A and B are shown apart, each in its own frame.
Chain A
Amino acid sequence: GEDVEQSLFLSVREGDSSVINCTYTDSSSTYLYWYKQEPGAGLQLLTYIFSNMDMKQDQRLTVLLNKKDKHLSLRIADTQTGDSAIYFCAERGHTGGFKTIFGAGTRLFVKA
């Protein structure tokens, strides 16, 4: 079945850039997402990219998609302590019947 993998932890210093990586297996993925979950809160959609794009930038966030390698990354520029959260990579496509398939989440620690 479809699978989404991402590293579990990332630690960066405040002001540095964070890069969270994700790989997926579904070649029919149409939409790829990054969700953020802060402590005690629900899932917040940060950004998404269509599979026919290779890059999307939104303020401090840059999403890169390498469709050939099925690799997605999220770069957060000038990382702040408020960016500390769990970041979930997710994909949605025909193979999965358009249900969203999530990775296990990457916990980002930002050190002051």
Chain B
Amino acid sequence: EAGVTQFPSHSVIEKGQTVTLRCDPISGHDNLYWYRRVMGKEIKFLLHFVKESKQDESGMPNNRFLAERTGGTYSTLKVQPAELEDSGVYFCASSQSQGSMNTEAFFGQGTRLTVV
């Protein structure tokens, strides 16, 4: 079974440009999460989808970030326009059910974004 996949694995863009990150969760997982790790700091929650609905977007830094999950399958996270402080590793995770005893969230390999 395929795990959580993220694309691209690396992206280097100039300040002011737009970048779109993609996450394909494990098939059948309703919950999809985006996280970000800025160098040397903790992994911070950005937002949580349940199917196509945003359950919690309290971690989104500002309105330059837009996440979508049309159809409740894959998700995209767009940064427009990108700033230097947006550099970091963006992780996506998916899980089957929030109420289940098995609450493991499976993480992707992350997208390393560098804004220069």
Interface residues of A (CB under 8 A from B): 4, 8, 31, 35, 40-45, 48, 88, 90, 92, 96-105
B60 in contact (CB, < 8 A): no
Give CA–CA (A103, B43) in the complex, Å. Answer: 7
The answer on a CB contact under 8 Å between A99 and B42 is: no
**Closest B residue to A98 using CB positions:** B98
Q: Which of A31, A42, A45, A101 has the most CB of B within 10 A?
A: A42
* Cβ A104 vs Cβ B45 within 8 A: no
Number of interface residues of B (CB under 8 A): 24
Residue in A closest to B56 when the chains form the complex, CB atoms: A97
Q: How far is the CB of A8 from chain B (nearest CB, A)?
A: 8
Q: Which 8 residue pairs are nearest across A and B when measured between Cβ atoms? A: A42-B109, A43-B107, A102-B43, A104-B42, A99-B45, A42-B107, A102-B42, A98-B98
How distant is the Cα of A96 from the Cα of B58 in the complex, in angstroms? 10
Interchain residue pairs with CB less than 8 A apart (26):
A35-B107, A41-B109, A42-B107, A42-B108, A42-B109, A43-B91, A43-B93, A43-B107, A43-B110, A45-B106, A90-B43, A92-B103, A96-B45, A97-B48, A97-B55, A98-B98, A99-B56, A100-B33, A100-B35, A101-B45, A102-B43, A103-B42, A104-B40, A104-B41, A104-B42, A105-B43
User: In whole angstroms, how far apart are the Cα atoms of A97 and B98 in the complex?
Assistant: 10
Q: A43-B93, A43-B110, A102-B42 are in contact. List 14 more A-B contacts (CB 8 A).
A: A35-B107, A42-B4, A44-B107, A45-B104, A45-B106, A48-B103, A97-B56, A99-B56, A100-B35, A100-B93, A102-B35, A102-B43, A103-B42, A104-B40
Chain B's nearest CB lies how many Å from the CB of A28? 14
Residues of B within 8 A of A (CB): 4, 33, 35, 40-45, 48, 55-56, 59, 91, 93, 98, 103-110
Query: What is the bound-complex CA distance between A88 and B91, given in angstroms?
Result: 14
The interface centre, meaning the residue of A8, A31, A102 with most chain B CB atoms within 10 A of its CB, is: A102
